[in-house]
Amino acid sequence: MMIKNIINSIKAYTQSFGLISKLKLWKYFFIPVVISIVTALTIGLSAYGLSDTIGAYISKIWVWEWGKQTFTGISSVIGGLAVVVLGLILYKHIIMALSAPFMSPVSEKIEAHLSGIPLSESHHHRTTSFGQQLWRGIRINIRNLFKELLFTIPILLLSFIPVVNIISTVLLFLIQAYYAGFGNMDYTLERHFNYKESLNFVSKHKGLAIGNGIIFMLFLLIPVLGVILVLPFSVTAASIKTVEQLKKIK
């Protein structure tokens, strides 16, 4: 079931561009895109300066002369990986938290279109203000940030072990994907569920979150264009699948 949900969530991206254009949603993404670009630049420049420093600290663990150069080289790579991973985690949660009040209207319009019922006439959604949406976005993403770090730091330590580091890299990617998809889904869930109910919903539909987050993370591998397009496409895809799933339980 999870694999099926992952695939279906990925497929939803093929509908994103057409739906954004049809519903004239591009204007809603202007401020979130600015937030995304500024955050990416800030974290990117910080990461560039920190990677060598972290690598140098890690290399001090090796107190012997033999193999010192090799370990120093490995430390630099691991330091760079750590900075990239932690940078992506911070970037992801910052943009999703600050963009919440701007993404909720997008999700709302998509839901109204897919259901054929204006949300003002629906009895299945909660009305929230700009401030409430922002606070919920911050609350959800702070919670997810700490949970993600709790899993990520031990896995990063496993990167020191040959062969195991291949598996740890895959795990890191999937964990990042899950929490990215989680944030994107919550823009729809906040109208239907309270905080705890939303956590339970995503927990029961991990495949949808992972599938959405996989493409979210791959978007970030595209220079410049990735940070511009990642929110419009990922939020639209997440809204499509979340609304679809909500229809099944309501």
Dihedral angle of Cα 22, 178, 93, 112, to the nearest 10 degrees: 30
Give the integer Cα–Cα distance in Å for 43 and 41.
6
Asked whether residue 192 is assigned to any structural domain, the reply reads yes
242 within domain boundaries? yes
Residue 139 lies inside a defined structural domain of this protein: yes
* pLDDT at residue 69, as a whole number: 66
DSSP per-residue codes, 13-27:
HHHHHHHHHHTT-GG
Domain residue limits at 191: 2-49+85-249
Alpha-carbon distance of 7 to 88, in angstroms, equals 23
73 belongs to a structural domain: no
Predicted local confidence at residue 120, as pLDDT? 57
Quick one: pLDDT at residue 238?
A: 97
pTM for this one? 0.85
Q: Would you state the pLDDT for residue 64? A: 67
> Burial of 21 by CB count in 10 Å (0-12 exposed, 13-18 middle, 19+ buried)?
exposed
CA distance 170 to 194: 32
Q: Has residue 133 been placed in a domain?
A: yes
Three-point CA angle 139, 232, 99, nearest 5°:
25
Residue 137 is assigned to a structural domain of this protein: yes
Q: Kindly state whether residue 161 falls inside one of the protein's structural domains.
A: yes
Q: What is the pLDDT along the chain (250 residues), one digit of tens a residue?
A: 889 999 999 999 999 999 999 999 999 999 999 999 999 888 878 777 776 676 666 666 666 666 666 666 666 666 667 777 788 889 999 999 999 999 989 999 999 999 877 665 554 566 777 888 888 999 999 999 999 999 988 887 787 677 777 888 899 899 999 999 999 999 999 989 999 999 999 999 999 999 999 999 999 989 889 999 999 999 999 999 999 999 887 6
**Cα–Cα distance for residue pair 239/27, rounded to 1 Å:** 17
Number of domains in the chain: 1
User: Taking the CA atoms of the chain, what radius of gyration do you get in angstroms?
Assistant: 20
**Collapsed DSSP state (helix, strand, coil) of residue 250:** coil
**What span, in angstroms and rounded, lies between the C-alpha atoms of 238 and 183?**
9
Task: Note whether residue 75 is domain-resident.
Answer: no
